[in-house]
A and B are shown apart, each in its own frame.
Chain A
């Protein structure tokens, strides 16, 4: 069953522009994580934000978390063609910290 739901499903931008991706979830979480997946490859962890955090930065990435709205956003600034990939949010819930992934957002960055 899907816990996280990303929005939009697909995003196409020009190199140098910022990309904003959103994730909504249904139940309370321990943390929320964002992953990137290049075509046909495994997932790469981008950033983790805990339920008591509101904002986190890592390089060109900025993630926010609003637990009252059960939503998160991932901002990629100054996008590059190499950022072209699928992006997934994953929510960590329960005692065993099971990760539940959304369906993903396909980001295309045009050179």
Chain B
């Protein structure tokens, strides 16, 4: 069964350093999502792509976070510089389209900022 791939699975970085996460969605899925999940909370949407275009980045801290999906397939989420409060699980998900479709999640990247 097709799965959403994410790497790395775990990342430890020092504050003020740059960090990047990669996501490869299920083939054919037009919509890609990046979520942040703080321990004990539900996922919070950071950015949503439809093909290569951003359709929602209202919760993305744009002073330090950036996301791209250049060819409308895989995607990269970057944090520069990382802060202690960025420690969380970063989840990528994809779906066939934006409306009334279930989302398929990757295993996530656990980020620890020291």
Give the interface of A toward B (CB within 8 A).
2, 4, 30-31, 33, 35, 40-45, 48, 50, 88, 90, 92, 96-104
Contact B100 A97 (CB under 8 A): yes
Interface footprint category on B: 20 to 34
In the complex, A2 Cα to B44 Cα: how many Å? 9
In the complex, A102 Cα to B40 Cα: how many Å? 11
- B92-114: contact bitstring with A at CB < 8 Å (1 yes, 0 no)? 01000011111111111010000
Specify which of A44, A92, A103 lies most central, judged by the most chain B CB atoms within 10 Å of its CB: A92
Give the interface of B toward A (CB within 8 A).
4, 33, 40-45, 48, 50, 55-56, 89, 91, 93, 98-108, 110
Contact A98 B42 (CB under 8 A): no
- Listed from nearest, the 8 A-B pairs whose CB atoms lie closest are A101-B42, A42-B105, A45-B102, A43-B105, A97-B98, A42-B107, A97-B99, A96-B55
Contact B56 A96 (CB under 8 A): yes
A-B contact count (CB 8 A): 62
Contact B103 A102 (CB under 8 A): no
In the complex, A12 Cα to B108 Cα: how many Å? 27
Contact B98 A2 (CB under 8 A): no
Identify B45's interface contact among A31, A42, A98, A104, CB under 8 A: A98
Given A98-B45, A98-B56, A102-B42, 8 more contacts at CB 8 Å? A40-B110, A42-B107, A43-B91, A43-B93, A45-B104, A96-B50, A97-B100, A104-B41
In the complex, A108 Cα to B105 Cα: how many Å? 22
CB-CB < 8 A to B101: which residues of A?
Answer: 97
In the complex, A44 Cα to B93 Cα: how many Å? 10
In the complex, A96 Cα to B104 Cα: how many Å? 17
